[in-house]
Structure 1
Amino acid sequence: MTIKIVQTDRELQDAYHVREIVFIHEQHVSPELEMDEHDQSATHFVGYVKGEPLAASRLRYVDEYGKLERICVLQEHRGKHYGNQIIEAMEEEIKRNSYQKAKLNAQTHAEGFYKALGYETISDEFMDAGIPHVTMVKTL
């Protein structure tokens, strides 16, 4: 997979398209919650295989953390380590910007996936967009 930090309108639309399929259509998150005010200032990532967008995420800097958000891979492409690759790219960008810590709010069904990547759960379960989540952190 080729991962790009979004530079063009086309790449941004590709990232939004993947997010729309995964979060709005598959997980039934309302469009108003999925596409929020932070999209304007975030750094967006999009992953391509053979020119087709199939993974996306965004990164923001909050306090001392690089905050990984909206991480998603199209359903038919899960299990191929694309999620690991996009997280790795995000962590590299965090370090390039002189931050040492990463943070994310993981859907609880994905908590084990993030633990395997070195993230530690630091919160109790909470609901976000009607989906149970936990907050996780990692020192880079």
Structure 2
Amino acid sequence: MKTHKITTQEDLQKAFDIRVKVFVEEQKVPAEEEIDQFDHLGGECHHILVTNDENQAVGTGRIRLVEGVGKIQRVAILEEYRKLGLGRVIIQALEDIASKELGASKVKLDGQVQAQGFYEKLGYHVASDIFLDAGIEHVLMIKEV
């Protein structure tokens, strides 16, 4: 598996395809909420793509700086590639971008409650009550990087 920053429209579309499959099709997030104003090249978001050994896109995520804090968003992995450690790989790649490229000393994310334990294992702590985003329970989670 390889991880790289997205620099082409073709790779960005592959990330969108993964997100639509995971969030829109599997989790029933409305399509108009999934792709937003930050989803383009050269903007304030840094997008990454994970590819398998056959160079097929299997995971993605993005990060942007919000008030000096790296905000991790849209982390998605195709179902057949879950439980292989790719979530950790994606989060670490985004944390590296936050600290090395964006100069952030903290990162945050709105984690789905069902994934809270995963993020806690990576050093995140809960910093909010449960809230709904796209009809799914989330909590704000924060980590020093």
Identify the TM-score tier after normalising by the shorter chain: over 0.9
The equivalent residue for 2:9 is 9
**Residues 81-138 of structure 1 deviation map (CA, whole Å, 9 limit, x = unaligned):** 0010011100111111211100000000000000000000000000000000000000
2:31 alignment counterpart: 31
Q: How far 1:8 sits from its partner (Å)?
A: 0.7
Q: Does residue 44 in structure 1 map to residue 47 in structure 2? A: yes
What is the identity, as a one-letter code, of the residue corresponding to 1:64?
G
* Separation (CA, whole Å) in 1 of partners of 2:62 and 2:89: 14
Name stretches of at least 5 consecutive residues in structure 2 with no aligned partner: none
For residues 24 and 58 of structure 2, what CA distance do their matches in structure 1 show?
15
Quick one: distance in 1 between partners of 2:81 and 2:14? 16
Matched, 1:119 2:141: no
SS of the equivalent of 2:114 reads helix
Number of matched pairs? 140
- Correspondent of 1:75 among 79, 87, 109: 79
What's the TM-score once normalised by structure 1's chain length?
Answer: 0.97
Q: What is the percent sequence identity of the aligned residues?
A: 37
Distance 2:115 2:50 in 1: 19
